[in-house]
Amino acid sequence: MTEKGARYIAKSSAIASRLLGGEMMIMSAVDSTFFTLNPVATVIWQAADGRMPLAEIVDQHVCAEFEVDPEIAHRDAERFVEELSSHGILLVSERPFSEPGVSPTEAA
């Protein structure tokens, strides 16, 4: 069962990523766009398994690990996901990616 209005995020397979000195480095294989993620964005990236809704990632990982107002954390996480999804680095879906019939190419 999926949560109404939930957004699920998963990492694209067309990227290269590496954690160096506590910072996540990500490069798109499609257009060579390069990103260096801050610690909060790194936590979101690492939790982007396609099965946990973004809101839960923020609540269980970001708010639990960092002193941040939950409303601000959710807003900033949405912006972060929009930015990376616009480059094809994160995939976004209204359903978990592990559900039958849902593939990353169907990301909304």
Any idea how long the chain is? 108
pTM of the model: 0.84
- Do residues 85 and 5 make contact, with C-beta atoms less than 8 angstroms apart? no
- Do residues 5 and 86 make contact, with C-beta atoms less than 8 angstroms apart? no
What per-residue confidence (pLDDT) applies to 98?
Answer: 74
For 31-71, how does the pLDDT look when each residue is reduced to its tens digit (9 = 90+)?
888 999 999 999 999 999 999 999 999 999 999 999 999 99
Tell me the two tokens of residue 94: 């209204």
**Is CATH 2.40.50.100 what the domain over 8-96 is classified as, yes or no?**
no
